[in-house]
Amino acid sequence: QVQLVESGGGSVQAGGSLRLSCAASGRTASRYAMGWFRQAPGKEREFVAAINWTGGSTNYADFVKGRFTISRDNAKNTAYLQMNSLIPEDTAVYYCAARMLGSSRYENEYDYWGQGTQVTVSS
């Protein structure tokens, strides 16, 4: 069993930056691949980025490439999403998720989810 808690959301102006954190607890939390997803009002949840358990492989949605960076610190059982050059379209609730096998872009392949953290980008 893995518990996930996101933090770091907030309100920022367009062009600004935020860093989201996802703290994982559980005996083998560091062995899980981690993913970030987001859900904007009135829209379905969508994939943002994912990282395998070693941190050696990452995967991004096209709309965040070059702006967002996913990373992890297994010593702290924490995954991060550094978000730069934010635009209003990035406004959403951001969720982290974990799965035992390799990273994935598909939310139905994740076993554990956090409660989400709100990110609001104003123009």
Q: Position of tokens 């096998």? A: 101
> Is residue 67 within 8 Å of residue 84, measured between CB atoms?
yes
Residue 107: predicted pLDDT: 96
Residue 29, pLDDT > 80, answer no
Looking at residues 88-104, what average pLDDT do you find?
A: 94
Quote the tokens at residue 86. Answer: 């934010």
Is the predicted pLDDT of residue 108 greater than 80, yes or no? yes
Given pLDDT bands bounded at 50, 70 and 90, which one contains residue 1? confident
Give the Å distances, CA to CA, from 20 to 14, 42, 63, 96, 103.
17, 22, 18, 9, 18
